[in-house]
Structure 1
């Protein structure tokens, strides 16, 4: 019997299940370790650090494990950084920009998404080699992006921790019952 080709939605659902849910379910350690990993991964996913998110999770893991004696599951933390990707980075950064401007009390100086996107276009091209252009972008937008990203990163980390801990604690009795039947 031939199998029907999967739709895009089915492929995306399978990818999400294999990337996020399966590592959570297969973990044999305390649910808090996976919940902490989810929080760390989501925190770094919602910061303006595209391209550095996975190394930042690894550095956080090293610091947490060796200096703070607070461990988390590294693989799960790394996987949760994929919650944001290159396709959503620019809209996310725009949301960070709007939040940062609002937190600074400058809602009158907000720009449209098209203006914001046009401002990033030269930064992704050859203008990055010009230090004064890069400095201007970091000075003008860097602080605003970080200021706007922090509330989102903290909120997503807290929500992720709570959801993962609640889900895994609820699954634990089911997991034990399944092993007892074998």
Structure 2
């Protein structure tokens, strides 16, 4: 007897599911071990592959649309909390000093990766609140943000929480804006 793989087809309202048999050539024996969904779910770090899920197929996973409409997890900084104006040189100097002590070992001010990504142009690629949350709320971001999870997968090293205050984070952001 062979193990048959089933797929679940969700209804448009995600309330009803129907199992349909996968094509007959797709049995568990036919699949390479690394593509075994159970192995990926249970043996590997789920957060490392979650961003790869194709969500274009009928809104999979169920409730994905509702989850994206929920508020940001508690404790995360929102866009309303960050006001960017002209570059404040005093903040830039303080941010540079913080960078020299806490960030320079892993991040360059150029485009190249050291351990973590280089910072050149980061304020053009990412929103200010995303950058602040990566500095101040790294654990929550790695649990909930697909882009942060993708970055972890690329760098292979989890960024440690540096214990920055909100003011220090804002100063480092101001420094990043000058790069």
TMscore range, shorter length: under 0.3
Name whichever structure is richer in helix by fraction: 1
Name whichever structure is richer in strand by fraction: 2
With the length of structure 1 as denominator, give the TM-score of the two structures: 0.26
With the length of structure 2 as denominator, give the TM-score of the two structures: 0.27
Q: Rg: which structure is higher?
A: 2
